[in-house]
Amino acid sequence: NAGVTQTPKFQVLKTGQSMTLQCAQDMNHNSMYWYRQDPGMGLRLIYYSASEGTTDKGEVPNGYNVSRLNKREFSLRLESAAPSQTSVYFCAINRRSFNSPLHFGNGTRLTVT
Amino acid sequence: KQEVTQIPAALSVPEGENLVLNCSFTDSAIYNLQWFRQDPGKGLTSLLLIQSSQREQTSGRLNASLDKSSGRSTLYIAASQPGDSATYLCAVRLITQGGSEKLVFGKGTKLTVNP
């Protein structure tokens, strides 16, 4: 998935620990998104950023914070991880156009014990 | 509330067969519909995007159709190959009253093409 880089690829946390998931893009797109994917639940939007300096809540924002550092980078922070946050997290981007397809990174697989 | 359903959840076919994957949505007020492919351990790759005013889009062996009034889309794969094995997801794009956009995803159909 050229253009969207997520780090780390894998992470194991203990309950209560914090971490930041990083997403960077080199496609010069305005909009960036964080999704989580869980078996049987499909993809759910956590937060999104329509442009640099703006962020908005998605469907499941509780327990997360985000930061749109600049046009290229959008980070997702878990302040106090919980087992319910065990999931695969995907960053996605698109142009600021409703006709633009969504491009995804390869994901971060997070396990909280 | 918009719901997107993909049936069947899994499909296994022999190589060379033509096949159809289904996607249905409950609210026809969509802006567009997008089909994705997801390989194990990977992110989603965009395959086709159909605008609400369009009936179909084609890319190589893939053809996606859209019938907004009946709330249905199909992804047709011609002459399937083992490399087509993946999970296929559809997503509808909505425009909210506030002017922002929202994507609602189906849970996907896992396709296995057997050599």
Q: Which chain A residues have any C-beta within 8 angstroms of a chain B C-beta?
A: 1, 4, 40-43, 45, 50, 56, 90, 92, 98-99, 101-107
Q: Which residue of A45, A98, A102 is in closest CB contact with B95?
A: A98
Flag if A104 and B106 touch (Cβ within 8 Å): no
- Digit-coded pLDDT (tens) for B12-41: 999 999 999 999 999 888 889 999 999 998
- Digit-coded pLDDT (tens) for B35-73: 999 999 889 999 999 999 999 999 999 999 999 999 999
- Digit-coded pLDDT (tens) for A80-96: 999 999 999 999 998 86
Q: Looking at residue A2, what is its pLDDT?
A: 57
State the DSSP H helix or E strand holding residue B107, giving kind and residue range, or none if neither: none
Q: Which residue of A1, A40, A99 is in closest CB contact with B32?
A: A99
A57: amino acid identity, one letter: K
Torsion of CA B75, B78, B79, B84, to 10 degrees: -30
Q: Looking at residue A51, what is its pLDDT?
A: 87
Mind giving me the DSSP string for B13-56?
Answer: EETT--EEEEEEES----SEEEEEEE-TTS-EEEEEEEETT-SE
CA distance A27 to chain B (A): 15
Other Cβ atoms less than 10 A from the Cβ of A107: the count is: 24
Mean pLDDT for A28-42 is: 91
Flag if A1 and B93 touch (Cβ within 8 Å): no
Is there a contact between B49 and B103 (Cβ–Cβ < 8 Å)? no
Mean pLDDT for A37-42 is: 88
For A62, phi and psi rounded to 5 degrees? -65, 130
d(CA B101, CA B79): 35
Flag if B34 and A102 touch (Cβ within 8 Å): yes
Q: Please report the residues numbered 44 through 83 in chain B whose beta carbons come closer than 8 angstroms to any beta carbon of chain A.
A: 44-46, 49, 51
State whether residue B7 sits within 8 Å of chain A by CB. Answer: no
Q: Which residue of A50, A101, A105 is in closest CB contact with B49?
A: A101
Q: How far apart are the first and last CA of chain B?
A: 41
How many beta-carbon contacts under 8 Å exist across A and B? 52
Q: Which residue of B34, B43, B106 is in closest CB contact with A107?
A: B43
